[in-house]
A and B are shown apart, each in its own frame.
Chain A
Amino acid sequence: MWRKGSSEGSDRFEYLQTLVTEFQDTDSEEAKEQVLANLANFAYDPKNMEYLRTLQVTDLFLDMLTEENENFVEFGMGGLCNLSMDPECKDIILQSGGISLVTNCLSSRREETVLSAITTLMNLTTPSSRSEITDPAILQCMLRFSLSESPRLRNLATVFLQDCCSEEQVQIQSEAEKCWSVGQRGPAGQFTWKIREETIFPIKC
């Protein structure tokens, strides 16, 4: 795909711009999915970060997180997972209120979407965003993932708990989790997780 044009940066930029334009103009869901996947994969290469930022693809991906089409959500989340590795993109995502949008993806029933969301949250962790990202509701979620039967989910959630949270936070949360898992999901007024135990998240408390 790269080789279609010359390797001139401007060509690359134009190509990406064409993709974004097609995404905006087309009415075909299928074409949108393809372009979205393309853009998300382009976000893997650090060379494209700046172009994608310029084209506001960060916002495009964030928009996808609230779509009904699950492919849109998965690809958009994948794109954010790739982009959020870049410090500048990270700032843009944080400024656009990305944390809550990404957090919502933790309850997706697609494992790939959940994994992208966890990695993105880790990438978004900064001294100032840490408190929001280690919110008790998210911790609770991660604790459950860390007991999941899926090794990938288990591993990634474990890394999150070990690297992004303090030990006390985890301790407190797992105590609380023990109480909650008996009855309901969480205390009234708190974020409620649409967790589907029967699919991938067994509760072993």
Chain B
Amino acid sequence: VDGHVAVHPHRKYEVYKHHEQRKVCISRPKYREGRKAKAVKVYTINLESRYLMVQGVPAIGVMTELIQLCALYGVVEEYRPLDEYPAEDFTEVYLVKFQKLTSARAAKRHIDEKSFYGGVLHVCYVPEYETVEDTRLKLQDRRRYIMRAAQNKANEEPTTSNTAEKIISRHDQMPNNDDTGETSNISHYSSFPLLPLPPQEHYYHGYKNQYGTIPTEDKMGTLHNATICTKQQPVQSLSFSQTSSERERGTEHRLTPNQAPAVRFVPRTTHLENRKRKMEEAAEHSLTVSGKNEPLIGPKLPEPPKLDMDDESLNTTVSLIRNAMKQVEAVPDVKPVEKKMKPRRRI
């Protein structure tokens, strides 16, 4: 593509300084220590890119697996092995181009230094693969995002001289940056992925509707329940609206009583209670409908296969023994079975 590259093939895969993994800094005082040991390095938009280079991929034909891993963090537009790039023995280097910078950022954060099929991956941005247009758009996006953040703040916050007040309201009025594609810059420092929310039970929706607009304690006297309350946000006062970025940072929620957390945590006991109730209802239902006294437990186990021993007398023996065993099993617990099965299903 590039004339220069064609003329100097040996320079095609130049190893730039920013590809290297810098030594982590070990001399930080306690208060400046982060979660992860990190090198002393300044990130700017110039260093970031939607192009990532993944080094240390074991050379055992796991390209598909690698790309699948990357695709967890966003759309991968292109990828290819960088065969000429200097690699350690038995490893390969890949170039991965994401559709969005935020995806690349998330992928880098999560994949870097992770073990992968026995190797440890090193992921870095490779802005040198950008085209002029890529670079231009990257800068424009960034400027637009910062501009919007500043405007949102200015709109919602009439200038006050009280610093403390300013600080707090400001914090709460972070722009909702879902659509800007810039969400994850805040999470530079967060080190683990968001887990998907637990599956919601129907029973719970009722609960949510009932209490949805009241961001207060639940019956158990706690603020922790696991419904997403995005729908109720407009109802609350603006100054306390949670933002997606805050949600993303997870641990940073401030759970003050007059504020609804965006993601609520449901204590396990509540879950169990609900499930138990449902189960009991179901059991009652099945009892009345089927008319039989055995509780409905689920799909029936397949009957033991009928053995054919190729001999009349042997077959008779088998069926005799089976019948005898059934009787022995059945006698002592005709009733206890019912009662014992219920608690088991709760688990």
Contacts and interface: CB of A to CB of B under 8 A. Distances in A.
Interface string B145-156: 111011001000
B239 to A, nearest CB: 12
Interface stretch (B76-84, B113-121, B128-136): B128-136
A119 B128 CA distance: 15
Interface in B25-40: 25, 27-29, 31-35, 40
B60 interface: no
B132 A81 contact: no
B42 A41 contact: yes
Contacts, number: 148
Contacts of B252: 2-3, 6-7
Given A9-B167, A9-B170, A88-B150, A79 B254 contact: no
A51 B167 contact: yes
Contacts of A111: 17
Given A34-B32, A78-B42, A155 B170 contact: no
Interface of B is mostly: helix
Nearest to B254: A7
A94 interface: no
Interface in B41-56: 41-47
Interface residues of B, number: 57
B271 to A, nearest CB: 27
B135 A44 contact: no
A156 B135 contact: yes
A192 interface: no
A202 B159 CA distance: 50
A168 interface: no
A149 B11 contact: yes
A47 B246 CA distance: 11
A8 B166 contact: no
A131 B11 CA distance: 38
B174 A86 contact: no
Contact of A46 (B35, B47, B146): B146
Interface in A10-56: 10, 12-13, 18-19, 30-31, 33-35, 37-38, 40-41, 44-47, 49-51, 54
Contacts of B254: 6-8
Contacts of B318: none
A1 B150 contact: no
Interface in B213-244: none
A1 B36 CA distance: 9
Interface stretch (B183-191, B198-206, B261-269): B183-191
Nearest to A30: B27
B17 to A, nearest CB: 8
B178 to A, nearest CB: 15
A112 B18 contact: yes
Nearest to A47: B174
B143 A85 contact: yes
B295 interface: no
A18 B31 contact: yes
B136 A159 contact: yes
B136 A119 contact: no
B44 A78 contact: yes
Contacts of A112: 17-18, 42, 44, 46-47
A149 B7 CA distance: 12
Contacts of B27: 30-31, 34
A58 interface: no
Given A30-B27, A47-B171, A35 B32 contact: yes
B342 interface: no
Given A7-B254, A155-B131, A87 B147 contact: yes
A75 interface: yes
Contacts of B29: 31
B46 A37 contact: no
A119 B251 contact: no
B128 A85 contact: no
Given A34-B25, A78-B44, A151-B130, A3 B167 contact: no
Contacts of B149: 46-47, 49
A158 B132 contact: yes
A13 B185 CA distance: 19
Nearest to A87: B150
Given A37-B41, A54-B163, A155-B131, 15 more contacts: A6-B254, A8-B168, A31-B27, A35-B32, A47-B174, A49-B149, A50-B167, A50-B170, A149-B4, A150-B128, A151-B130, A158-B132, A159-B135, A162-B136, A163-B136
19 contacts: A8-B167, A9-B167, A10-B163, A13-B163, A35-B32, A37-B41, A46-B145, A47-B149, A47-B186, A50-B167, A71-B40, A82-B45, A85-B146, A86-B146, A119-B46, A119-B139, A149-B11, A159-B136, A159-B139
Q: Which 6 A-B pairs rank lowest in CB-CB distance, beginning with the nearest?
A: A9-B167, A78-B42, A46-B149, A7-B252, A9-B171, A85-B146
Interface of A: 1-4, 6-10, 12-13, 18-19, 30-31, 33-35, 37-38, 40-41, 44-47, 49-51, 54, 71, 74-75, 78-79, 81-82, 85-88, 111-112, 115-116, 119, 122-123, 149-152, 155-156, 158-159, 162-163
